[in-house]
Amino acid sequence: MSNNHTLLIHCTDRKGLIYAVTQVLFQNDLNIISNGEFVDKENNHFFMRAEVAGDINREKVLQELHDALPEKIIFDLLPQQKKNIVILVTKEHHCLGDLLLREKFNDLNANIMAVIGNYDTLQPLTEKFDIPFHYISHENKAREEHDAQILERVKQYNPDYLVLAKYMRVLSPAFVEQFPARIINIHHSFLPAFIGANPYRQAYERGVKIIGATAHFVNSSLDEGPIIAQNVIQVNHTHNAQDMAQSGRDVEKIVLAQALKLVFADKVFVSNNKTIIFN
């Protein structure tokens, strides 16, 4: 079992930051096995991600970093281990099925603790993989009430991340605020194009030659959260809206898996509604 840790730091840029950080790591006898820095010059903001190996006294290292670095610095020192996640779904199977398979064969870097659906369509699939499924219908409920029921269930599992694997409802701001930069959604379009309902119908009507998908963090503005990953596939005039949706499903599941791989490896910073990805 690895005792590697990932160090994440971001703060206002100034001279000597890498020197100060690596001094602390060196004096704690930690070996840097991978390191990346990025300076957002427009905002004069510094980002650093380091993977370190060695016997670590986490509290001591954090205290020394705190002393060595400017105030208002944001940092974290995370053990390299699988994340715990809860997945929200509606009726579509392709993203959930892909995630269940990846987890089962140790290809997801996460434990799926539970799946929650506002329909029970995907309960049999989920249970094939011996994972609990909670059916929480939205019918005859106000959004806030429904979200509160989901929230209660989610909290029971205390997950690191929530994954919306084709969850086709908008989460209320009160819900989203509980999980800042911890909810990942797969959007059925190459954002910012075709926001809203029926994106494949829109794409067909517009006669596009390429369709895409976007994985992003969810914030309180619908479809406007920080983008993590995007990909596309070529289509042509012989594809009707249904064909485009079918092609779209393959892109969606691949893009979601790419994004989760990055997020679960602690490679993604969020800043100014954008992502900084050390890959």
Residues 82, 226, 223: CA angle, nearest 5 degrees: 110
| Among residues 9, 61, 110, 208, the one that binds a copy of itself under rule CB under 8 A | 208
59 near a copy of itself, judged by CB under 8 A:
no
68 near a copy of itself, judged by CB under 8 A:
no
CA distance 21 to 223: 36
Element (H, E) at 27: helix 17-27
Nearest to 169 by CA among 147, 195, 190: 147
CA distance 217 to 228: 7
| Among residues 39, 74, 142, 170, the one that binds a copy of itself under rule CB under 8 A | 39
- 15/72 with CB nearer a copy of itself: 15
- 41/72 with CB nearer a copy of itself: 41
Active-site option among 223, 243, 250, 266:
223
Contact 113, 84 (CB under 8 A): yes
276 near a copy of itself, judged by CB under 8 A:
yes
| Among residues 45, 78, 250, 265, the one that binds a copy of itself under rule CB under 8 A | 250
Q: Parallel, antiparallel, or unpaired: how do β-strands 227-234 and 210-217 relate?
A: antiparallel
Active site annotation includes 223: yes
Residues 210-229 that bind a copy of itself (CB under 8 A): 210, 212, 226-229
| Among residues 11, 35, 151, 181, the one that binds a copy of itself under rule CB under 8 A | 35
Q: What token pair was written down for 205?
A: 């009507």
Segment interacting with a copy of itself (CB under 8 A) among 70-78, 133-141, 165-173, 237-245: 237-245
- Give the nearest distance from C-beta 60 to a copy of itself in angstroms: 17
72 near a copy of itself, judged by CB under 8 A:
no
Contact 85, 159 (CB under 8 A): yes
Residues 175-194 that bind a copy of itself (CB under 8 A): 190-194
Segment interacting with a copy of itself (CB under 8 A) among 37-45, 75-83, 137-145, 173-181: 37-45
Residue 67, burial from CB neighbour count under 10 angstroms (0-12, 13-18, 19+) = exposed
Spatial neighbors of 1 by CB under 8 A, at least 6 apart, are none
- Give the nearest distance from C-beta 155 to a copy of itself in angstroms: 30
CA distance 3 to 101: 27
55 near a copy of itself, judged by CB under 8 A:
no
Helices (H) and strands (E) in the chain, counts: 8, 13
- Give the nearest distance from C-beta 39 to a copy of itself in angstroms: 6
Q: Parallel, antiparallel, or unpaired: how do β-strands 45-53 and 31-40 relate?
A: antiparallel
Element (H, E) at 270: strand 268-271
The residues annotated with a catalytic role in the active site are: 223
Binding site for a copy of itself (CB under 8 A): 15-16, 18-19, 22-23, 25-26, 29-42, 93-94, 97-98, 101, 104-105, 107, 125, 128-129, 190-194, 206-210, 212, 226-232, 234, 236-238, 240, 246, 249-250, 254, 257, 273-277, 279
